[in-house]
Structures are given as C-alpha cells and as structure tokens.
Homo-oligomer: A and B are copies of this chain.
Amino acid sequence: MRDRSSKTASYTVDVVLMTAMRNELAILLVRNSGDRERWSLPWRVPQAGESLDFAACRTAQDALGESTDWMEQIGAFGDGKRHPSEADVSVSYLGLVPHETAAPHAGYAWFQLADLPTLSARQRAMVEGASRKIESRLDQAPIAFRLLPSTFTLSELQHMYELLLHKRLHKASFRRALQAAWLVEPTEEWRSEGRGRPAQLFRYLPKKRRRPHRGLRFDFLSL
C-alpha cells in the first residue's frame, strides 16, 4: 500500500471500514507514509491474479488483524479526482466491524464521520458512497447487527438503527416490526446496566426467513 513508486499501478482497492463509536459512526484511516500529517483510507494495489474482493479483505486484515464478516463493494471511482496513489481508478469496499472487537494496528485510527481530516477528493467520494450504501441497504442487509457485538439488548439495537437512520424510533413500533421480521432470538442472559431494570440479551438470528413477506422496514417507524 505504501508502494508509491509503482507508476504502473492501474487501479487500487480502497476500503471504508466503519464502526459505531460513542454513538457516532466512525471510519478507519491510516497515516500517509509520505506526509505523516495526512491520513487516507486504507488501500492497496492488488497483486497479479488477486481478486478485488480478496484484495479488499487483505486490506482490512492489515488494518485490524482480522477480516470483517461483512464486506460489500461500493463502486469504482475515477473521474480525475486525486488519490494517494497514481492510479486513475479505485474500487472501494465497505466493511463493518463492532467497535468492541476492533483494535486498529499501529498507524491506523478511528475518526468520527462528522469530524474527518482532509482526504483526497476521490476518497471523500468513497466515504460519501459508503454512507449512501448503508442507508440504501439497511433493510436488506444485517448492517446494524454487524456493528454490534454478538449479543445485545433491544435498546442497543434500536439506538443503532436510530444512528443509522438519523431519526428517533418509537420503542413499541420498533419491537413489533422486529418481531414480525423474525430477525432476533432471545438468549437466557440479562444485563444490568447500572440504574433501571435489567435488559434481556438477544442475538441475531439469520434463520431462514419465515416468509419474507415484506422484509424489515424500520425506516418508516418515525417517532
């Protein structure tokens, strides 16, 4: 990735690794090898014969030590915008990780989406694309669950959806829709979070959708 000398690099693979941190979305950036004051999205030039998907996974692994369990292509970005590399096209991927298990390697750091350092125009477009991807696929892919630990309370899940949808949800409606979608399963555990009644822990249940009648449509449960 630091391979700035390679003038023959025809394209790069860049990854937008996202997590939820202190009730805000955050992405992982890496300190530029040239200008140590600047940051960029992790990227690499795929090796010969390396697939795009695989290159994206490797880039994520370099950053976090583990691969993310959900990764999806955002698109190809070119259009003359600048990039840390010489490549005139970059293919970018979105990966999601629960913040609890995401310990960045040296040189990498999380930045809240609302407070990013300066990025190249092309990489800014990728971050923008990542945000739109999340919104558009929120009700088709288990995005919220990939940002949470393996077990969670329903309040945590609701707060995650509120974060992703930029709107408050009504508790009763949220739970009713969740039940109808058959997406979670209660565990035997409860967690007491200081004050208030303890909450039951749930886990994501990717069970064969009982009749995918309508799918999950949380985006319409406004407060």
Contact = CB atoms under 8 A, between A and B. Distances in A.
Contacts of A140: 136
Nearest to A89: B11
A77 B89 CA distance: 13
Contacts of A10: 10-11, 89
Interface string A75-91: 11111100000000101
A52 B89 contact: yes
Interface in A8-56: 10-11, 46, 49, 51-53
A73 interface: yes
Nearest to A91: B76
A51 B88 CA distance: 9
Interface residues of A, number: 20
Contact of A11 (B11, B73, B79): B11
A76 B73 CA distance: 8
A82 to B, nearest CB: 13
Nearest to A46: B78
A76 B56 CA distance: 13
A214 interface: yes
A199 to B, nearest CB: 31
Contacts of A91: 76, 78, 89
Interface string A123-166: 00000000000001000100000000000000000000000000
A11 B53 CA distance: 16
Given A51-B78, A52-B89, A214-B220, 10 more contacts: A11-B11, A11-B89, A52-B76, A53-B79, A73-B76, A75-B75, A76-B89, A78-B91, A136-B136, A136-B140
Ranked 6 nearest A-B pairs via Cβ: A10-B10, A51-B79, A76-B76, A76-B91, A52-B78, A73-B75
